[in-house]
Structure 1
Amino acid sequence: MRLKTKLSIGIGFLFTAILVSGLLGIFSINLMKKDAHLVLKDNYETLVYSNNMLQTLEQFRTDPKSIKTFEENLARQEANITEPGEGVATAAVRDLFEKLKLAPGNDSLQQRLREKIYLINTANQQAIFAKNSTAMANAKRFSNWLMIIFSLLSLVAFTLAVNFPGIISEPINALSEGIKSIVNKDYSRRIHLNQHDEFGELAQAFNTMAEKLNEYEHSNLAKIKFEKSRIDTIINQMNDGIIGIDDTRHILFANRVAEKLLGLKEIEIAGKYAPDVALQNDLMRSLLQEKSKEKELKIFADNKESYFHLDVINVDNNERVIGQVIVLRNITPFHELNEAKTNFIATISHELKTPIASIKMSAQLLADHRVGSVNKEQDELIKSITDDSDRLLKITSELLNMSQVETGHIQLKIAPVSPSIIIENATSTVSFLAQQKNIRVRVEEAATPCKMLTDPEKTAWVLTNFLTNAVKYSPEDDEIVLTTELSQNNISFTVADHGRGIDEKYLPKIFDRYFKVPGTPEKAGTGLGLSISREFIEAQGGKIWVNSKLGEGAVFGFSLPVAV
């Protein structure tokens, strides 16, 4: 039977019980009301009329109005004859009354009239007793029927009240427990309901679902374990240290390289809170610090100093971070190659400076007319040799400076220096180049007695590099503005030109090594000058920057602290 049918039967029965009880009650009340009305209408009123006639009969001699009252009650009685023999007695009362009106003082007539009235009373009193007995019998009969019907309906209703909630609640509880088991991955749970209704169908569907889930779980478990084993093997075979951390900062795993670097076994730290491990392990403490992320770390491992690059990768799921993977990439071979490259560049650059200087000096001697005259073609060749020698000398100087930067051996001679000295050295160096393009270098120097804490040679080199680039990229007959300004215990230098400018998308890379703005002529430079400038300024505790827009020129600047 369907659940809907069960509900309809239960609710229909309750409705029928209420309807039957109500109809029987109404019928019983109406019947008893009718019996009471008959007693009141047919008999009680007759008794009232008879008693009124008996009272007025005594007053015939003294009160003439009593005769009229008697006649009114007699007329009402004549209209209310309901019992057997009552009509004959009432007619006799009328006949005697008519005679008595002619002889009011006749005692014999009055006595006979009283007897007839008593007969009417007696008949009605007997009728009242009889009708009352009938009404009581009817009331008792209906009361018994009502009790029987009420008992039956109550018994059925009680049975429904006790059993019907269980028909609904027990399957729901069974389904609820089954769902909890599925949530806890107990796919062997089944629900058995001997009901051929919607709950039975739902239980069957649940069992089918649990069976499918159980099959899926067991069919994929071996595959998942195999994949996990393969991933663990791959991670352990990697040359990089890898550590997994969940969203609660507990350590999930660490491969063999990570074990060696940490000096801890995976079994010792798996499941532990990473900051707690960091309290006893310096490397773990460094890995968890924000400032260490995406930087090089020098770690003593395998009885030697090794270099590792730290990467912290967030693991996301639906835009929510559920963990992190810390990767220590072994860059020791690259670091060794880079160091060898730096040493090689430094050595070659140093060795090249002497022959290049000799070539330049020889070219200058050839250009000297005191040595001998040369024709026009020879003079152009000498000039070309001189230009190439200057360019080679600049490149070797930049390479030597870069080797100092890369090895971290920048030799600084910090001293209090006036800004005007730096400006004079730089402007005098680029004056000849500026004159060739008829470019004026306008200096707007702040009137301040303050001095800077700086290496004058390297700072002048940086400012010269800014001015040289400004001259290169400025049109002829133009002006370059060199400005100094004192603000917040720093002296800043800015060089502004009106050249073609730099596209904003290239500005973040402008100070990177070997970077050249696309479209720059091949002979414009090595791409090292601005990188070396940044290293020189930052090594002195200063800042360097650039502002530019394409077609609006460029502004290069740096600032250094004031000498206290």
Structure 2
Amino acid sequence: MIRLSIRKKLYFGFGFLTVMIVLLWVTGSYFISNLSDRSEAMLHENYQSVESAEYLVKTIDEIENLQMEIIFYDRSTENIDSIEKEKQRFEEHLKDVNNNITESGENNLVESLNQSYGLFVKMLDKSLNDTTNARVFFFETLLPQYKKVRNDIIKVSDKNRNAIIYKNDSLNRTASRAFLLLSLIGAACFFIGAYFSLIYPKSIIRPLKQLTAGIREIANRNYEQKLDFKSRDELEELAGAFNSMAGKLNEYEHSNLSQLLFEKKRTETIINNMNDAIIGLNENFDIIFSNLLACKLIGVSSKEITGKKVSEVIGLNRLLRDIFSDFSDNMYIEKPEFSSIKIVSENKPAYYSKEVFQVLLSGEGSNITPAGYVIILKNITRFLEQDEAKTDFIAAISHQLKTPIASLKLNLKLLSDSRIGNLNSEQSELIETLKGETGKMLNITSELLEISQIETGNFRFDLKPVNPVQVVDYIRESSEKQAAENNIFIEYILPETLPPFFGDNEKTAWVLLNLVNNAIQYSDKGSKVRIELKANNKFVEFCVEDFGKGISAEYLPRIFDKYFRVPGSVSKGTGLGLYISKDIITKQNGEIWAESSPGAGSRFCFRLPLSKKII
């Protein structure tokens, strides 16, 4: 049996159908053109001759009638002129007949008409010129010749009428043949088209449905699925390739199952022997595994939580709620703040950090599919103890250094007193330099001491209703003195009335003074610093704005980090001031932020909640 591919079948079927349609078009065009040409020729050749013959009969009859009137009634000039006009009209139509001889034998009939009419004209002219025996001449000579002319005209007309009838029958026969032929070709096109529209698609769709069902079975790991196509085309090759693939998958499934189980067991062993507690979730937030350390810490067995959703296990104990605090309503919400989890095991407190990693699977192209989450609990107790020891050491050193530095500052003040003794210019300059450096050392130790108090929780707040203007007045003298030293003007924008906020007056003033000092340090001489206060129905807002060089957008997110300083800044601070400011404001339930653009200056703002009491 001949093997034809699907492409060849389509080429053959649609090619044959195209040929039939073209044949139908050519045949129809030929017959239509032929019928049109023959009909036009018939109208031009025969109908014109018949029409001319009718005019000739009318004209010869009119001439005869005028002749009779002249002979028997009125021999007037008017009647004679009318005969001449009719003769001219007759000759014009006769000329048309002579020019349109198309049928066999028509030439002899027209020649006879020409001769008989010529003789009739001679007789007519004689009867008009010679009135002797005019009536006898009319009946015996002229009237018989008139009848002869009329009969010749009718013969020419009959000849063309018979030709019209014959040609019309021929046209009808041609039209019938064309209709029959076109009907046969159209029927063939219809049946071929119907075959390809109804039969051929089924021969393709049926195997495709079987292939789709087979693929679904393969997806369900039924690798024994087979296809059997006997179409002797690409579909049969496709079925063979599918069966080969299914066989290979079946072989792979059985040969690698033990290897996969071994790898799974090895992976579980590695996870269970890790020093960190690990819990795994799938993309539907179902717990799929938890290692031995994790089960020990949370106080439940792996069987109790494996296979269950996060929402189902968070109610088992407080620790599970802390571990899954980032997961809510089948969503993972990342929390940027670091917080440790305290776990008491064997009557000993331990602290753990929590890290959540999203597992992503790479698909075809650049498609990435979420596959779940892995939660890792790391024991950071040792690091927290070291950090606490560091904080205690800094607090102790800062406290011990504060007293001698204060004493040094007092002695420098005494040295500059003229009552003790006069100093030359170089000694005075040296004393002023030492005062500046001593002040910096005192500020650094103060900030370190405050940092240690913040980290140990010993930073106490005296929260009460505070008038915002009092905070500005508290720092006004100190800030204006520093501004005057740098030739900088401070502009105050203070509303007439402001509601009190709930906070610590001194610590809020420290934050405002720190922001103003920073603004003065980063401002050009001769510029200004703006302090603005405003309030709404929830907060009082403090803003300090300078018009210096500003801060790049890449550094703004880190501006409140501990020890961070903007690269290339002219100030040589510790990088602790803004960190302490943020901690003071946030612990008073407030917010602090920075806005800046390079070349346009910076704007630092914080806001504190309104007091419910009126002062």
- Class of the TM-score when normalised by the shorter of the 2 chains: 0.5 to 0.7
Q: Does 1:361 pair with 2:410?
A: yes
Distance in 2, Cα, partners of 1:524 & 1:404: 23
For residues 287-339 of structure 1, the C-alpha deviation after alignment (integer angstroms, 9 at most, x for no partner) is: 33337855424232433222222233222343443322222233222222222
CA distance 1:491–1:199, shift in 2 (3 Å): closer
CA distance 1:379–1:223, shift in 2 (3 Å): farther
Please list, as runs of the form range in 1=range in 2, the aligned pairs for 1:267-346 lying within 5 A after superposition: 267-290=303-326, 293=335, 295-303=338-346, 304-317=348-361, 318-346=367-395
CA distance 1:272–1:415, shift in 2 (3 Å): closer
Q: Does 1:527 pair with 2:575?
A: yes
- 2:341/2:354 contact within 8 Å kept: no
- Match of 2:264, SS state, is helix
- Match of 1:296, SS state, is coil
- Match of 2:554, SS state, is helix
CA distance 1:437–1:293, shift in 2 (3 Å): closer
- Match of 2:607, SS state, is strand
Q: Does 1:212 pair with 2:212?
A: no
- 1:260/1:301 contact within 8 Å kept: no
- 2:4/2:232 contact within 8 Å kept: no
Cα offset for 1:284? 2.3
* Paired amino acid for 1:306: A
Aligned length: 409
Distance in 2, Cα, partners of 1:444 & 1:307: 48
- 1:261/1:299 contact within 8 Å kept: no
* Paired amino acid for 1:308: Y
Cα offset for 1:196? 8.1
Distance in 2, Cα, partners of 1:441 & 1:176: 79
CA distance 1:174–1:394, shift in 2 (3 Å): closer
Please list, as runs of the form range in 1=range in 2, the aligned pairs for 1:118-133 lying within 5 A after superposition: none
Distance in 1, Cα, partners of 2:573 & 2:438: 14
CA distance 1:213–1:456, shift in 2 (3 Å): same
Report what 2:420 is aligned to.
371
Q: Which moved more, 1:468-477 or 1:193-202?
A: 193-202
Distance in 1, Cα, partners of 2:385 & 2:239: 70
- Structure 1 unmatched ranges of 5 or more: 9-166
Cα offset for 1:214? 3.0
- 1:316/1:323 contact within 8 Å kept: yes
Cα offset for 1:188? 4.6
Please list, as runs of the form range in 1=range in 2, the aligned pairs for 1:93-112 lying within 5 A after superposition: none
Cα offset for 1:175? 6.5
Q: Which moved more, 1:174-183 or 1:257-266?
A: 174-183
- Match of 2:548, SS state, is coil
Report what 1:515 is aligned to.
564
- 2:352/2:379 contact within 8 Å kept: yes
Cα offset for 1:219? 4.7
Please list, as runs of the form range in 1=range in 2, the aligned pairs for 1:166-185 lying within 5 A after superposition: 179-185=215-221
Cα offset for 1:231? 2.8
- 1:287/1:293 contact within 8 Å kept: no
CA distance 1:553–1:250, shift in 2 (3 Å): same
- 1:275/1:285 contact within 8 Å kept: no
- 1:490/1:562 contact within 8 Å kept: yes
Cα offset for 1:202? 5.1
Distance in 2, Cα, partners of 1:366 & 1:218: 95
TM-score scaled to structure 2, two decimals?
0.60
Distance in 2, Cα, partners of 1:544 & 1:279: 36
Report what 1:558 is aligned to.
606
Distance in 2, Cα, partners of 1:292 & 1:282: 20
CA distance 1:194–1:421, shift in 2 (3 Å): closer
* Identity of matched residues, %: 42
- Structure 2 unmatched ranges of 5 or more: 10-202, 327-332, 362-366
Task: Select 1:239's aligned residue among 275, 289, 299.
Answer: 275
Distance in 1, Cα, partners of 2:580 & 2:209: 77
- Match of 1:505, SS state, is coil
Cα offset for 1:517? 0.7
Task: Select 1:186's aligned residue among 213, 222, 225.
Answer: 222
CA distance 1:230–1:381, shift in 2 (3 Å): farther
Distance in 1, Cα, partners of 2:581 & 2:356: 31
Distance in 2, Cα, partners of 1:343 & 1:271: 46
Distance in 2, Cα, partners of 1:192 & 1:490: 78
- Match of 2:544, SS state, is strand
Report what 2:460 is aligned to.
411
- Match of 1:360, SS state, is helix
Cα offset for 1:468? 0.6
* Paired amino acid for 2:243: N
Distance in 2, Cα, partners of 1:232 & 1:204: 40
Q: Which moved more, 1:342-351 or 1:319-328?
A: 319-328
- 1:298/1:305 contact within 8 Å kept: no
Cα offset for 1:418? 1.9
CA distance 1:380–1:171, shift in 2 (3 Å): closer
- Match of 1:252, SS state, is strand
For residues 374-425 of structure 1, the C-alpha deviation after alignment (integer angstroms, 9 at most, x for no partner) is: 3333323222221111001101111111112222332001122222221122
CA distance 1:252–1:373, shift in 2 (3 Å): same
* Paired amino acid for 1:497: D
Q: Does 1:495 pair with 2:518?
A: no
Q: Which moved more, 1:367-376 or 1:495-504?
A: 367-376
For residues 202-237 of structure 1, the C-alpha deviation after alignment (integer angstroms, 9 at most, x for no partner) is: 554333222322343345444434443343233223
Distance in 2, Cα, partners of 1:293 & 1:398: 29
For residues 147-194 of structure 1, the C-alpha deviation after alignment (integer angstroms, 9 at most, x for no partner) is: xxxxxxxxxxxxxxxxxxxx9999889877755543332335556889
CA distance 1:214–1:386, shift in 2 (3 Å): same
Q: Does 1:396 pair with 2:445?
A: yes
Distance in 2, Cα, partners of 1:489 & 1:173: 67
Report what 1:147 is aligned to.
none
* Paired amino acid for 1:299: K
Distance in 2, Cα, partners of 1:425 & 1:173: 85
Report what 1:266 is aligned to.
302
Report what 1:438 is aligned to.
487
Q: Which moved more, 1:339-348 or 1:218-227?
A: 218-227
* Paired amino acid for 1:313: F
Report the RMSD for the aligned CA atoms in angstroms: 3.3
Distance in 2, Cα, partners of 1:178 & 1:445: 79
CA distance 1:206–1:362, shift in 2 (3 Å): same
Q: Does 1:249 pair with 2:285?
A: yes
- Match of 2:314, SS state, is helix
- Match of 2:555, SS state, is helix
- 2:596/2:602 contact within 8 Å kept: yes
- 2:552/2:596 contact within 8 Å kept: yes
Distance in 1, Cα, partners of 2:236 & 2:559: 75
